[in-house]
Chains A and B, each alone.
Chain A
Amino acid sequence: AQSVTQLGSHVSVSEGALVLLRCNYSSSVPPYLFWYVQYPNQGLQLLLKYTSAATLVKGINGFEAEFKKSETSFHLTKPSAHMSDAAEYFCAVSTTSGTYKYIFGTGTRLKVLA
């Protein structure tokens, strides 16, 4: 069975500081991993995805994530936080059981301090 764990339900950073949002997964087979962002009263928007090509994945808005099999991690980073990055971030893994379901983490709310 696959699962996703996001460490830290709330993260605060200063504007211009490094953003690091943690995601660990559990999977018996190579996973497909995703990071989504959700702004208030909106749906989820894809930031980036890992599909077994390059381990360092670049996404929109300056975000990137690195797939580390040895650590079963897929942490999301951005070198310099902007006020507009304040949102909820979800890590997800797509299941390989043939049901085409996606398992989402519990989310991390990012707050950017001026």
Chain B
Amino acid sequence: EADIYQTPRYLVIGTGKKITLECSQTMGHDKMYWYQQDPGMELHLIHYSYGVNSTEKGDLSSESTVSRIRTEHFPLTLESARPSHTSQYLCASSDFPQHYEQYFGPGTRLTVT
């Protein structure tokens, strides 16, 4: 059983608020990822990290930012939430080498009103 956690699971917040979505894993994985997924749609990679102090933007442009100051923790922050940010956000982690699968958290469903 993979141990990757996301909080909160559901969040409803007003426009303009700053929010942080938490993601933690206890497997010691170096690589972590954030995906954005609209209901019933494909996953879009928005951020990834190879390890501590390493962050990269993904394939889909996002106004969010991430940090990686501890191996186990990869939070995502939106400085000013907008309705266009309404989506599901999935966090994942994986180990080396590349044929190791990604382990996913349960997701955070964000609604910005």
Contact = CB atoms under 8 A, between A and B. Distances in A.
Interface of A: 32, 34, 36, 41-46, 49, 51-52, 88, 90, 92, 94-96, 99-102, 104-107, 109
A44 B31 contact: no
A106 B50 contact: no
A32 B104 CA distance: 18
Contacts of A105: 42
Contact of B45 (A36, A51, A101, A109): A101
B101 A34 contact: yes
A106 B107 CA distance: 18
Interface residues on B, range: 20 to 34
Nearest to B90: A43
B85 interface: no
B41 A107 contact: yes
24 contacts: A32-B98, A43-B90, A43-B104, A43-B105, A43-B106, A43-B107, A44-B92, A44-B104, A46-B102, A46-B103, A49-B101, A94-B98, A94-B99, A96-B98, A100-B94, A100-B98, A101-B45, A101-B48, A101-B59, A102-B45, A102-B102, A105-B42, A106-B42, A109-B40
Given A44-B90, A46-B101, A99-B48, 4 more contacts: A41-B107, A44-B104, A107-B40, A107-B41
Contacts of B58: 101
A100 B31 contact: yes
B43 interface: yes
A56 to B, nearest CB: 17
Given A41-B109, A42-B107, A100-B50, A107 B101 contact: no
A92 B43 CA distance: 11
A35 B95 CA distance: 18
Contacts of B41: 106-107
Interface string B21-58: 00000000001010000001111010010100000101
Most A C-beta atoms less than 10 A away, residue of B6, B43, B90: B43
